[in-house]
Structure 1
Amino acid sequence: MPVLTEDRFSGAAHYIVSEANGYRSREQVVIASGSGVLKAGTVLGKVAASGKYAPYNPTLATGVETAAAILYEGCDAADGDVRRTATVRDAEIHAEALQWDAGVTTDQHKTDALTDLAGSGIIAR
């Protein structure tokens, strides 16, 4: 009989400790084309020019340098915009379960992102 293993950091919403009643913590967002294949738990920023979301990257100056949401479920936005659910407010999350873009290269970048998210009531534990 084969042994099955599961990556505890791969399923939809795996990063959530708790969230507001109903769906108040979540919104439908558009992930910008060119964002690539993203896993659930990816920290997102909001592109100022379009209002779409893309992976948080503190080295850019497009709006994504400010963390604004966390991707609820994975997606492939390499070749086109994709509509997905994101946590945007009032939730507790597992900080170690978050996924980070390659542009997030230091612990300070992560700390800054978690501070941004705390402003929306998304609190890292």
Structure 2
Amino acid sequence: MSKSVVPLTVADLGAEAPCCPPIAQNRIPAQTAATLAPAFKALGDPIRLQLLSMIASAEGGEACVCDLAPAFEISGPTVSHHLKVLREAGLVDAERRASWVYYRARPGLMRQLAALLTVDESVSV
């Protein structure tokens, strides 16, 4: 039986404001941690991290699966699986155009993840 994936429910993924204060300032609420954990988990795989980087840095802000798959020495279905994980984690959106699927990064969620991990340089370790 496959795992059931719950869609990401961060309040507003397009918002400019972070979802919560950085974890170096305050403890992250359990509900927020549960909501953001799938995105961090998805990024924990080197291929998915590279795919997100390729998509986010692509000219025009989107990348076709036809351009992504050849960059890896894994099968097309495996690349598709990794892209599905990124999509289910809320990190990318997908749009089918004819026989190809185009992926676009969701910058709102990426900003929230980055803000959560921000560390004030003036804080001593």
Q: Which has more strand, going by share of residues?
A: 1
**TM-score higher than 0.5:** no
TM-score grouping bracket, smaller chain normalisation: under 0.3
Larger radius of gyration: 2
